[in-house]
Structure 1
Amino acid sequence: MTRSIIVIVSFAMWIAFLMYKASERYEIQQNLKFIIKHPLNKDRPATTLLGTPLSVLQEYFTLQPVLNNIDTFHLNQLLQVYQVTDGLKASELDGVPIKDLWLLPGYYMMSLEEVVDTCAVLRRTSDVWNLAWLPIFSSRSGDFIVYDTNNGHVYEMLTKESLEWEVAPSLQHFLGNLAQKFSTGRIHIDEHGLMTEKANANNAQNNDDREDEISNTLLFPGDSMNHVRAEILQNEENVEVPNLIFACTNMPNICQNIKNAINSGKTRNLQRITDPDQIKKNRQNACGHVSCKKGDSCDEYPFASTSQGGTGATTMCVPLSENNSQGGQLARFYRLNKVGDKDFFYMQSP
């Protein structure tokens, strides 16, 4: 009798577990569908260009190049997303302003093909990219929302600043929170035509905490300067500030964009900011109206991580690998010269 009870209880627990997982998958897909069908996204390229849903077989076949050491359970969670839509095909986005591609503030949904291609680039060129990460949403200017296939968490990654932080403990929570923000009007279209999220007091406190965390994080171990050289230079106010010199071998287009910006009158005197939301806002304001071809992302000067960045910045479409190179150099410069929030530095070269 006791054995029978144990068997029955075990079976009931197993059924309950399967029902819970089915419910979780249902929530992932329903929340994504809600976001896609929301009036803010109606008739926009962000949704009209979305690909058709993929089958499980198609998904696994497409992801095969990046499946090494990926947890199957968490991978299946990710695939629930692509059974709703295969995202935006990078080859079809040429000529479309970045802001019109955003399915959520600052990000569009990547196709699985682009996920694989982007992973290959980031694994090769980014100092902080985690092999368990798969990007789902891209800003098309070097930032990503990524899914961790080891722990199931969702992170936001700013490659040009080499910064990352957790935004949700699961895809279910991430998409659920987004759907709620859409339904309550927290997400809206601002006066510049950019999809953005209204700030609140909790966001401000979270930003302060995140700034402290980022400012105290050593993003790169060791003291090697690699491609970045720091010197002390007198700026216009006769105050000693660190002097940033980029090595342009791995990022000639970015260096050309900086030269173009400075030649057009943009300042070399810069002030760092560490608020991730302000950095993203600056990048969105600078790059939102730019369109880039497949494989390229938008670069801006002054940097989005400075008070001078944002609206009016000089932009250029550059290979994603160059943004990663810039991110490594800039992050090392900030760290080795102890350039914190509101600190000044000088863009010496190029």
Structure 2
Amino acid sequence: MQKNISEHLNNMLLHLHNWNFPVCKLLNDPIDKDEISKMFQKIGLSPPEELIDLYQWRNGTDVKLGTVLDNIHIIPGYYFLSLEDAITCFLSFKDDDRWKPYWFPIFSNGGGDFYALDFSKANGRHAPVIGFLLGEPNQDTEYLSLASMLQTFSECYDKGIVFITAEGYLEMDDEAQADIAQRYNPGLDFWTS
């Protein structure tokens, strides 16, 4: 039986709780489906169901001035944007030549890199995930869907591929993560090259 978005996230959060990682106390409360739909209508986008599921789980991370980025990562190097912050980033980038107007950011490194859903390839339920790296000329599809991305990271947590360093940072064995990502995202060139 395939797990849903919240089950993968709850599994990841369980590990973070066990490590007493600060992000656990900084995740915002969920928002309801009607509010999510209204916010997307304002920017003229129709989100896939898995993105609605994501924000019904939690509304991203409460990031205040002075927040240490390393303390808010939910996946190594990236934190979960609140819907309000994601919309702000989307509106800031949508006319940038490096960004496609149908990409919607969901995870950020705080320095201009994002994981974004590609709404142009959404099928109602899922949309592929783009790894946007600010200084790179090409932006690749890294995951077939948000669900496959979270399934990848959830298993990485379970297998110790995502871990806490002695200094207290969330880290990952990139090669081992790539093996799992390839299994859950078959056919993507990103994981075979």
Alignment equivalent of 1:99, drawn from 45, 50, 70: 70
Pairs aligned (count): 178
Q: What's the secondary structure of 1:140's corresponding residue?
A: coil
- Does the aligned pair in 2 maintain the 1:50–1:87 contact within 8 Å? yes
Q: CA deviation at 1:201?
A: 7.0
Runs (4 or more) in structure 1 with deviation over 6 Å come to none
Q: Distance in 1 between matches of 2:83 and 2:178?
A: 31
Q: CA deviation at 1:198?
A: 1.0
Which residue number in structure 2 is paired with residue 64 of structure 1? 41
- Does the aligned pair in 1 maintain the 2:105–2:115 contact within 8 Å? yes
Which residue number in structure 2 is paired with residue 110 of structure 1? 81
Does 2:38 correspond to 1:30? no
Which residue number in structure 2 is paired with residue 83 of structure 1? 56
Q: Which amino acid aligns with 2:136?
A: E
Q: TM-score, normalised by structure 2?
A: 0.81
- Does the aligned pair in 1 maintain the 2:152–2:177 contact within 8 Å? no
Larger Rg: 1
Alignment equivalent of 2:94, drawn from 123, 126, 138: 123
Q: Percent identity?
A: 24
Q: Structure 1, residues 128-182: CA drift from partner, whole Å, max 9, x if none?
A: 2112211111101111011112321011111233442111111111111110000
Cα distance change, pair 54–201 in 1 and its aligned pair in 2 (3 A): closer
Which residue number in structure 1 is paired with residue 156 of structure 2? 181
- Does the aligned pair in 2 maintain the 1:40–1:188 contact within 8 Å? no
Q: What's the secondary structure of 1:54's corresponding residue?
A: coil
Q: Distance in 2 between matches of 1:138 and 1:62?
A: 20
Q: Structure 1, residues 13-34: CA drift from partner, whole Å, max 9, x if none?
A: xxxxxxxxxx76x511110111
Which residue number in structure 1 is paired with residue 111 of structure 2? 141
- CA RMSD between the two structures: 2.5
Cα distance change, pair 77–200 in 1 and its aligned pair in 2 (3 A): closer
Q: Distance in 2 between matches of 1:203 and 1:29?
A: 22
- Does the aligned pair in 1 maintain the 2:81–2:107 contact within 8 Å? yes
Q: CA deviation at 1:105?
A: 0.2
- Does the aligned pair in 2 maintain the 1:87–1:111 contact within 8 Å? yes
Structure 1 unaligned regions, length at least 5: 1-22, 214-350
Q: Distance in 1 between matches of 2:18 and 2:74?
A: 7
- Does the aligned pair in 2 maintain the 1:107–1:139 contact within 8 Å? yes
Q: Distance in 1 between matches of 2:21 and 2:176?
A: 31
Does 2:169 correspond to 1:194? yes
Q: What's the secondary structure of 1:150's corresponding residue?
A: helix
Q: Distance in 1 between matches of 2:171 and 2:14?
A: 17
Q: Distance in 2 between matches of 1:83 and 1:202?
A: 27
Q: Which amino acid aligns with 2:66?
A: G
Q: Distance in 2 between matches of 1:181 and 1:203?
A: 10
Q: Structure 1, residues 288-327: CA drift from partner, whole Å, max 9, x if none?
A: xxxxxxxxxxxxxxxxxxxxxxxxxxxxxxxxxxxxxxxx
